[in-house]
Structure formats: structure tokens, C-alpha cells
Amino acid sequence: MFYYVLKYVLLGPLLRLVFRPRIEGLDHVPASGAAIVAGNHLSFSDHFLMPAVLRRRITFLAKAEYFTGPGLKGRLTAFFFRSAGQIPVDRSGKEAGQAAIREGLGVLGRDELLGIYPEGTRSHDGRLYKGKVGVAVMAIRAGVPVVPCAMIGTFEAQPPGRKIPKVHPVVIRFGEPLDFSRYAGMEGEKAVLRAATDEIMYAILSLSGQEYVDRYAADVKAEAARKAAQGRRFPRLPHR
């Protein structure tokens, strides 16, 4: 119930008023039945802008940290995300990935829309990164279409570290559904999963026009953090 209050009364109208998003290809999202909407992830605002423009309810797999914050603020944040249709997912380790897949398949088993960001985390620099294969596992196992989605302008509106978004033009673009029925029963084959995931990421890339990086975003972030830490530990001496 609170989901629809957020969407139609509280958050949805505010987001439309502030961002005035331009929506393209909305008819590509199935009007009924299970489907996956797979998008790029540029900003914290993505969690709310896409649901605000869809005609159907969508459930996202969200990082568990949003649900485990301390104190009153943490409890309110967890309540908000649960009410907004988010499912907490622990992103650490292989077993966590399997748990996320089980949760996602549960949503699809109820003939609902599942939202997922195949990159696994927000882009820290606005580029599109290599997708993780969980989206392909779910699409093939459940036998559902994948609708690619590109969020454009949300990185500029709310880049990493910015708590309050600024007004900036936003485009939300949906592409034609991708059919992976040719891979039925092959969700255990690594080459198949990689091929299907790359097809999804290429579709997102074609919609967004981003620069593509054939590495996982989490690895690039970790590498940048290590270099930054080393720089603080061993600062360069000025040239004489």
C-alpha cells in the first residue's frame, strides 16, 4: 500500500516535478507477466526515478547496507526501502549471489517485474562496466524477457557523494525486450551466461551511449581506493 502512496502521492510527483524526466520506449515494458528490467546504475536517484515512471510495480534487489543502518535513521531508511519494494541482498561472497538469485526468482515466480543493475554497484565515473551473470541466470531459469533500460543524466544530477540531487535533464530510455529462450536449460554453462549477460550490457550501452569498460565496477573501485590509500601513506615529494 505504502508503495503506491510513495509512487502516486509523495515521491513520484515530486521527482517528476524536479527532474521532468523524458521517457522513451515505455511500451517495451510488458503490461503483465514476469519480466526483468536491467539498467545501468549511475546515481542513488535511479532507485526512485525508474519506479516513478513505470506503469507497473517493480521490485529491486538492493544492497543490504540500506537495511542495516544503526539507530532511528537506520530503521527509517530500512522501512522506506522495504515500503518502496526493495529486497535486501548481501553482496559479499558466492553464497550471497545465490541468495540474490533465489530472491529474484521468487519475484518472477509471482509474475512481477524485477529490477536489477547488472553492474552490481553504482558507476563511480559515469562509465558502463561489465555485467555480472546473475541477471542471465534468472532470465534463463525463469524463461522471462529482459528489458534493457538506460538512465541518462542522473550521474550529473546526483554524482557519488552528493546527498541532495540538483536539477538536471534526465532521460529514461527502455529498449526492446531480449529473448533468451534459445538458452533454456543452459543456465549452468558459463559461456552461455557470459554471452547472454554481454548481450544485455550491449543493449544498455546502445541506449545510454556511455563509454564501456570491460571490467567489473567493484574491482575498479577497489583498485582506485588502494591507490588513494597508498598515495596518502606515501605522498610524493615535490620536485626541486
First-to-final CA distance of the chain: 67
Q: What confidence score (pLDDT) does residue 52 get?
A: 85
pTM over 0.85: yes
Q: Is residue 238 in a domain? A: no
Mean pLDDT of 151-165: 86
Q: Is residue 114 in a domain? A: yes
* Integer Cα distance of 84 and 90 in angstroms: 18
Domain containing residue 71: CATH number: 3.40.1130.10
Angle formed at CA 84 by CA 35 and CA 20, multiple of 5 degrees? 85
- Phi and psi of 199, rounded to 5°? -65, -40
Q: What is the rounded radius of gyration, in angstroms, for the C-alpha atoms of the chain? A: 18
* Integer Cα distance of 74 and 88 in angstroms: 14
Mean pLDDT of 139-168: 90
In this predicted structure, the answer to whether residue 93 has a pLDDT above a threshold of 70 is no
Q: Is residue 48 in a domain? A: yes
Q: What confidence score (pLDDT) does residue 12 get?
A: 64
Q: How do residues 55-80 score in pLDDT, each as one tens digit?
A: 899 998 877 776 777 787 777 777 76
Pairing of strands 86-89, 113-116: unpaired
Instruction: Tell me the residue range of the domain where 12 lies.
Output: 2-233
